[in-house]
Structure 1
Amino acid sequence: MLLPLDIQFFSDKTLYELKQAMATIGQQLKKVEGELSAKAIDPSASIEDIQAQQKSKEDLQARFNVIKQQHDELEAEQKAKFAQQQAMKQATIGHIEDPQQKVIAAKAELYRNTIRKQPISEEAMALLDDSTTGGNKFLPKTVSTQIITEPKAKNPLRGHSMHTQITNLEIPKLTYVLDDDDFIEDGATAKELKLTGDTVQFGRHKFKVKAEVSETVVNGTDVALVQSVDGALESGVAAKERKVAFATSPKAGEEHMSFYRTATATLPEIAKVQGATLFDAVTNAIADLHEDYRENAKVFMRFTDYLSIIKDLANGSATLFTAPPEQIIGKSVVFTDAAVKPVVGDFNYSHFNYDLNALYDTDKNISTGMHQFVVTAWFDHQIKLASAFRIAEVTPTP
């Protein structure tokens, strides 16, 4: 017979430990049953041996029954508790009237339950997976954040380049055609279309973004959790976009994404326009664009380069330092340190596309105790027409 101490010992165990104990004692019980059968049919075995083996089996069976009872009770208790939590969560989301708050609550459940390896409620998934919001819409979208964290990375191309989220996207390079083959007045564009074709096919290039979340944030408010995770993931995606678009040494397979790419047999490079000074190079690059692209052209350049232009033009006067950049350059200027050489062009021909699918996963950093919420996504950046852009370079000194 088991002592009360034994029963208390088993009741203090976790569900996992009880399962392990059941498996262990179950194996012992099976072994003893086999030995008992062997002794029962062995004429040389004494009745005392058989009785001892029978007593051993009864003790193990009693012990197994106690553990199983504790296991079943604890399992039922945990299932009931989880069902109650899910019901409360669904009731909470269901009673929220503000659609935006509903999405925040659903996202918070997604993040928390993914980190805790728990299933997501049907109501939350319905909010995150419908065709209008999408469970991964946050990937190509920047939202405001109020939580105080480190400065978020930004992609200056947002709002200038195109962003879509369409699987296997294929689009024409030009938005209109004429029945006359000679309707394209820009010779560079005509040559490029002849070389690369008149459509753009977007590929799938995988990358991962990790958001580190502390236990206090996970257990905090829905708004703080969603803003923290969304902000980190959006920063990672924006940083990836900026990195591939302005990479001077692109990774293998990502060469076509960079404005600074080098020409290949099927990939034209962006033409370089030079000038005696950086101001001359930028204005010459603007002028070198065909009028179809020049009208909507913008200049992406480093702020330090712009200051150098102002210092050269100001000649000791402070007037130009207060003038808007577009008055100095002649076109809208977007500052980014990633543009090691100014890029001039119509950025409607720069296009980021994301695959609709995204994979979620979590891990825990044992060293720091931080949870990592990981998203694996697929995207592509296509410069639809290289002839719509120019790179400004200062003429090398002889």
Structure 2
Amino acid sequence: MTREPGLSARLKLTLSYAGFVMLAGGLLLATVWVFLLRYVPEVIDNARMTEPGGSGLPVMFVPNRSDLLRAFAPRAAVVLTLLLVFGLVGGWFLAGRMLAPLTRITYATRVAAGGSLSHRIRLEGREDEFRELSDAFDSMLAKLESQVAEQQRFAANASHELRTPLAISQALLDVARKDPTRIRKDLIERLHTVNTRAIDLTEALLLLSRGDRGTDIREHVDLSLLAEEAAETLLPLAEKRQITLEVTGGAAPVIGSAELLLRMVTNLVQNAIVHNLPTGGVVTVHTGTRPAGVSVLQVANTGRPLPPELLPTLTEPFQRGTERVRTDEHAGAGLGLAIVHSVVRAHDGMLELVPGPDGGLEVTVMLPVAQ
């Protein structure tokens, strides 16, 4: 797409300033004409204004309109020329001063377009439109840099996590090919476990990507019903670990995707069960609404105390509590809370993580209530 050449913003402002100065000068001259010169007679008989006694010498000379115009017009032209030069020079200087912030913003835009998101404008001075634009641009760059860094970490972690089960499967198959006498049942069982983990991880990655893209599904969903369904599904896991699972509260109507919201609730309850005391732990799920027009889902569990600095990292992909890898049967992919966070953002909600007073974690999901 070709663009036609045009005047720069600085030149346009310069011409505008000069034109304004010339207009002001023209209005001033027009004012002199309207309120002064038009009242001067066109012809004045200076012969009648002589000294008495017949000497013939005039008492005073009174210029007529033509005399004033001949004396005034050249000087007015000189003044207008000076005003034009002053307007152009002063306008060029003032336009440059005013557009200097735009030059810095343009440079920062080109740097960001080149792939460097760490550059910031940091415009000094008082608050004005350019300062507001600069601060908004810096905030946008900071958010983009954070998102790009997060995506790069996610891609690196995802490739690592997916490569591990594939490498294990290849190793098992190589061993089976080299040792035909190996027990096939044991080999098949191990391959099944590894492939199941790879499939679960792939599904979790797809679900996380879907949550990041948002959802166009808008249906009425009650979080209390989803909490009961998730608790019923995970009750055998809780009983196996000797953990008490309680669901309390009332209706919490929201609008969104029932599938994504059910996965969110299930992930929260499952994490609360898995990351708990070895035996005798408790998981409580509470739903309800708040006066501010918010539906709330709270999932709290017992467990080991969590350091406050760990909380911001729990919603990052492939973070697994206080350890990077778990060795039990619920190792997971480290995407549980990352998926929860993604689903909450897709439904314009807020996620709050608070360490329990005696250990464990309390997770609060706040979503707009369905009217």
**Does TM, scored on the shorter chain, surpass 0.5?**
no
Return the index of the structure with the highest Cα Rg.
2
* TM-score normalised by length of structure 2: 0.29
Which structure shows the bigger proportion of residues in strand conformation? Answer: 1
